[in-house]
Amino acid sequence: MNSWVLRLARPIGAVSLTIIAVVSYSAIVVRAASLPRVTLNADSIGPRAIEEKTGESVTRDYAQAWRDLADALATNRNASLNDYFTGIAKARLNQRIADQRNSGLRTQYVDHGHKVKALFYSPDGGEMQLVDQAQIEVQVFDGQKLIYSTNSPQKYLVLMTPGADRWYVRSLESIPDGVLKY
């Protein structure tokens, strides 16, 4: 199996971020100390095949998006959503954060990783649909009081679109098991 390792290092504030992407024909993995682990499987994508570089970008940018999402929901500050979210996904997260702030709530994510399967890549390269089996512990606090927690796997239907230098999460919809039976 052909595989190789890509290392990127760039400073984020005072912290140096290292991304290690292990690429093979069938799976792309992003691991970093400050990024959730994302594994992309594009074996059944269609109608267009995914290029290796595109797969790396999607994987890295999706991981960054989840890091930003977790940060925004934990701090109730939405500035970090500008980098990797757009469209309805961004609008919904902004609304959720505004509601959390007004209600005195916050949501803490402990992200144990995402198994992402690429399902659709349009022939013109303008949209990519993915399904994400996420392993996330979620805790919701009202002030200091824990009101809800779960660590059961959660599935997401994701639509990503390319921008000038990155892929954006345009739609992020949580779905139950079985809803994608079609």
Partner 1 sequence: MFRTIPKLWLFSFLLTLQGLAQSVSVQAPADASAGSAFALKTTGGGSATLYLLGPNHILKKNVELGGDLQIAGSDVSASGMYQAVVCFSGECASKEFYVRPAPPARLSFLVHPSRVPVSAPNAINATAIVADRFQNTVLVPTPVEFHFSLAGTVPFTRNQTTTRGIAWLQMGSTAKQGPLEVAASVGDISEPRVIRQVASEACGLRMSATSNARNVRVQTDPIRDCSGNPLPDGTIVSFTKVDQAGRSTVDTPIKKGIAAAQFSVAGPARISIACGVVLGNEISVGGGQ
Quick check: bond before 47 cis, omega within 30?
A: yes
Looking at residues 129 to 148 of the shown chain, list those that interact with partner 1 (rule: CB under 8 A): 129, 140, 142, 147-148
Site string for partner 1, 90-129 (x = CB under 8 A): -xxx-xx--xx-xx-x-------------xx-xxx-xx-x
User: In whole angstroms, how close is the CB of 161 to partner 1 at the nearest point?
Assistant: 10
**Residue spans of beta strands (DSSP E) within the chain:** 4-12, 15-23, 27-32, 35-41, 46-47, 105-121, 128-142, 145-150, 154-162, 167-175
Distance CA 62, CA 85 (A): 9
Please state the length of the chain: 182
User: In whole angstroms, how close is the CB of 16 to partner 1 at the nearest point?
Assistant: 33
Contact (Cβ atoms closer than 8 angstroms) between residue 35 and residue 19: yes
Q: Does 151 bind partner 1 (CB under 8 A)?
A: no
User: In whole angstroms, how close is the CB of 165 to partner 1 at the nearest point?
Assistant: 20
Q: Which is nearer to partner 1, 18 or 77 (CB)?
A: 77
Q: Does 6 bind partner 1 (CB under 8 A)?
A: no
Q: Does 54 bind partner 1 (CB under 8 A)?
A: no
Contact (Cβ atoms closer than 8 angstroms) between residue 116 and residue 130: yes
Cβ-based neighbour number of residue 127 at 10 Å: 14
| The residue type at 2 | N
Q: Does 49 bind partner 1 (CB under 8 A)?
A: no
Q: Does 23 bind partner 1 (CB under 8 A)?
A: no
User: In whole angstroms, how close is the CB of 27 to partner 1 at the nearest point?
Assistant: 21
Q: Does 74 bind partner 1 (CB under 8 A)?
A: no
Contact (Cβ atoms closer than 8 angstroms) between residue 153 and residue 131: no
Q: Which is nearer to partner 1, 31 or 96 (CB)?
A: 96
Binding footprint of partner 1 on the chain (CB under 8 A): 47, 88, 91-93, 95-96, 99-100, 102-103, 105, 119-120, 122-124, 126-127, 129, 140, 142, 147-148, 150, 154, 157, 159, 171-176, 179-180, 182
